Chain A
Amino acid sequence: MDIILYGFTIKTDEVLYNLRKEIGEGSVRVLYIVADAVCNFFDNYRIIKELNSNDIEKVDFIIECEQINEAIKEKYEDKIVSADVLIKNVKFNFLKYASIRKRKISIVSCSNWGKTVYDSLYIPYNTPFIGVQINSEEYLTLIENIDLYLNDELKFGSDNTITTCTYGKLRDINIYFPNDIKFVEAKKRWIHLLDRFNWNDYIFEMDNFLNERQLEEFKDINHSQKIAFYCENGTDASLKAWSDQAIRRKYRWFDDYIVQTAYRKFDGVKPYNVLSLLEGSSC
């Protein structure tokens, strides 16, 4: 896999350090570093002043160690990876990440988890389930018949008032949007992101189970890619830390804990690995 590092900052140093194993094995090759620096070489990599557009086409990824021009960013959205992804994520494997990034997986999520994963892994959004909240019972109905619901039009529910949030209606299901946007904007974004939905590769995520029955229903849904986060008297091994009072005090809500542990530098031991989860292996 060929990459270009854009910018010569401390992040460049950190990225090279974090990729040292892959570079040493030959699975990742750094073509050059783009920067206006006084030296011509750094760790035997060439430093050149301008990013060559022919090279952008050829390489797999450009690592953004310094702000890249917006126009280039927009044009080559699929190739640009923020250096923070490589620096801040723990339990991170660049090759695994690259294959997930290329799959363009769509996450169907009932909470903020999906957005968090996209943001932390710097993957362009390709699902309308970004920053939306859905009631657990309705969410189960939606994912059981996802084709039917997503192909239907999102209708006006309400704009944000003192007593209600901004929400839209997909048939009988309420989709709650962040309060600071009006329904018209929310709908526009919903349609834009729905166009990018990858119908060949999507995963269901759910973390707001109210009872055992809902969990059973989720397990019965006929779709191979799905993940449930739950904690019931410490029976689920992967998230049993939630039964610890200290952890509960620290994160307050279960979904907050799940979101926080999905990514970024994490104190202690992460209960699961997002990359393995998206890859479909044991996480």
Chain B
Amino acid sequence: MLNFAIIGADNYDMILQKIRSEIEDKLVNITCLFATKPGYYFNADTRLHSIEEIGECNQYLDYYIIADNDELYWWNYLCNQIPEDKIILGRVITKYIGFDLFEYLKLKASNISIISDSCWGGMVYHNLGMRFATPLVNTAVEKEDFFKLILNLEYYMSCPLEKYKERSATLPPVGILGGEVKIGLNHYTDFYEGKKAWERRVDRINYNNIFIEMDTIESEKDVELFKQCKYEKKVAFTKNDYSTKSLFYMKQWDDVNVRIKSGSFRGYVQNIISDCPAFPRPMDVEKMLNGSMDYIRM
């Protein structure tokens, strides 16, 4: 049985509702609650501690869930005292519909590096409250360049990111790896900000657990190239059925109502993993990243 502590009580009930199945099955025990504000009144069996006592309780606690609304403050506060991988953000539990605690803990511990050609990877890290273990965050890569990158990942990641183009009035800054692979630094103000972030994150890549993601693949040639990629864990979302596990056929896209609601295919794909998606999720993202075979739901 794992012992959990809850920090703050703003979302206490909602968190307990989400993990009630694990609590009732006695896989999880909510051992104590650390009060982040004065004046808590409740009759639960959980022990109530003041936040200053956190150091004394460390030995018997496995994970800490931040239930206070001010997550950033308490995240920084806890990071100074306990290892980061023991902290879980409450919003991940309350907002993520298919949240499965044990699948999530497995994913968090696996230190996965998502190599994505769009914002998808960054959004997954953000929505699942995990550390960015990839430099491809807030970036975009053209299809041809992305194939070059994933077919020779270690080489390109060892190359320094050099300036290709600075931000112009309408286009984002662009960097280049090994003189060949262009990286669009879409959400950075200038190239140097993007480069700084890249250098900070590039060393975190875990080559033992790489997950490749591409938003859309449409031509046969691209399908072949994608299959050549040596990493086992990979997915590309497609509008057509290729009967391959790694090429995820978005059946629901055939539904005209879904198309009207979501506008673009890319928008639809990104919506699936967002905090509050508008459609039933065709795949279980946690299972998919963990490499389970049964992640397809429809």
Bound CA span A13–B281, Å: 7
Question: Is B77 engaged at the interface, CB distance under 8 Å to the other chain?
Answer: no
A39 contacts B9, C-beta separation under 8 Å: no
Within 8 A of B (CB), among A214-263: 237-238, 240-241, 244, 246
B251 contacts A14, C-beta separation under 8 Å: no
B11, B69, B251: the one within 8 Å of A39 (CB): B251
Question: Is B44 engaged at the interface, CB distance under 8 Å to the other chain?
Answer: yes
Q: Which B residues are CB-close (under 8 A) to A162? A: none
> Whole-angstrom distance from the CB of A66 to the nearest CB of chain B?
11
> Whole-angstrom distance from the CB of A43 to the nearest CB of chain B?
5
Q: Which A residues are CB-close (under 8 A) to B267? A: none
> Whole-angstrom distance from the CB of A273 to the nearest CB of chain B?
10
Q: How many residues of A contact B (CB 8 A)?
A: 32
| B1-27 Cβ-contact flags toward A at 8 Å (1 or 0) | 000000001111110110011001000
B297 contacts A268, C-beta separation under 8 Å: no
B13 contacts A13, C-beta separation under 8 Å: no
Within 8 A of A (CB), among B235-282: 251-252, 254-255, 277-281
B13 contacts A269, C-beta separation under 8 Å: yes
A13, A38, A244: the one within 8 Å of B41 (CB): A244
> Whole-angstrom distance from the CB of A172 to the nearest CB of chain B?
40
B39 contacts A42, C-beta separation under 8 Å: no
B280 contacts A12, C-beta separation under 8 Å: yes
B297 contacts A42, C-beta separation under 8 Å: yes
B13 contacts A38, C-beta separation under 8 Å: no
Q: How many residues of B contact A (CB 8 A)?
A: 32
A-B contact count (CB 8 A): 74
Question: Is A73 engaged at the interface, CB distance under 8 Å to the other chain?
Answer: no
B298 contacts A41, C-beta separation under 8 Å: yes
B10 contacts A267, C-beta separation under 8 Å: yes
> Whole-angstrom distance from the CB of B265 to the nearest CB of chain A?
15
Bound CA span A246–B10, Å: 13
A10 contacts B17, C-beta separation under 8 Å: no
B11, B40, B41, B280: the one within 8 Å of A9 (CB): B280
Bound CA span A24–B21, Å: 10
Chain A's closest residue to B98 (CB) is A17
Q: Which A residues are CB-close (under 8 A) to B69? A: 267
A10, A238, A269: the one within 8 Å of B97 (CB): A10
A265 contacts B97, C-beta separation under 8 Å: no
Question: Is A146 engaged at the interface, CB distance under 8 Å to the other chain?
Answer: no
- Among B10, B16, B255, B278: residue with most chain A CB under 10 A: B255
Bound CA span A97–B237, Å: 40
Q: Which B residues are CB-close (under 8 A) to A270? A: 13
Given contacts A10-B279, A13-B98, A42-B280, contact A268 B255 (CB under 8 A): no
Within 8 A of A (CB), among B280-298: 280-281, 297-298
Q: Which B residues are CB-close (under 8 A) to A14? A: 97
Bound CA span A175–B134, Å: 66
B12 contacts A268, C-beta separation under 8 Å: yes
A43 contacts B297, C-beta separation under 8 Å: yes
Bound CA span A137–B24, Å: 44
> Whole-angstrom distance from the CB of A233 to the nearest CB of chain B?
13
B17, B20, B251: the one within 8 Å of A38 (CB): B251
Within 8 A of B (CB), among A3-38: 8-10, 12-14, 17, 20-21, 24, 37-38
Bound CA span A90–B20, Å: 11
B21, B251, B281: the one within 8 Å of A21 (CB): B21
Q: Which A residues are CB-close (under 8 A) to B297? A: 42-43
A268 contacts B9, C-beta separation under 8 Å: yes
A21 contacts B20, C-beta separation under 8 Å: yes
Bound CA span A115–B43, Å: 27
> Whole-angstrom distance from the CB of A95 to the nearest CB of chain B?
12
Question: Is B42 engaged at the interface, CB distance under 8 Å to the other chain?
Answer: yes
> Whole-angstrom distance from the CB of B280 to the nearest CB of chain A?
4
B298 contacts A42, C-beta separation under 8 Å: yes
Q: Which B residues are CB-close (under 8 A) to A131? A: none
> Whole-angstrom distance from the CB of B239 to the nearest CB of chain A?
12
Question: Is A271 engaged at the interface, CB distance under 8 Å to the other chain?
Answer: yes
Given contacts A10-B97, A90-B14, contact A39 B41 (CB under 8 A): no
| A125-168 Cβ-contact flags toward B at 8 Å (1 or 0) | 00000000000000000000000000000000000000000000
Within 8 A of A (CB), among B21-59: 21, 24, 39-44
- Among B10, B13, B43, B252: residue with most chain A CB under 10 A: B13
B17 contacts A90, C-beta separation under 8 Å: yes
B9, B254, B255: the one within 8 Å of A269 (CB): B9
Bound CA span A185–B97, Å: 43
A90 contacts B43, C-beta separation under 8 Å: no
Q: Which B residues are CB-close (under 8 A) to A90? A: 13-14, 16-17
Given contacts A10-B97, A42-B298, A90-B13, contact A269 B252 (CB under 8 A): no
Bound CA span A237–B43, Å: 8
Question: Is A92 engaged at the interface, CB distance under 8 Å to the other chain?
Answer: yes
Q: Which B residues are CB-close (under 8 A) to A237? A: 43
- Pick 29 A–B contacts, CB within 8 A, sort by A: A9-B279, A9-B280, A10-B277, A10-B278, A12-B280, A13-B280, A13-B281, A14-B97, A17-B98, A20-B21, A21-B20, A21-B21, A24-B21, A38-B251, A38-B254, A38-B255, A39-B251, A39-B252, A41-B298, A42-B280, A90-B13, A91-B16, A238-B43, A246-B39, A267-B10, A267-B11, A268-B13, A269-B42, A269-B44
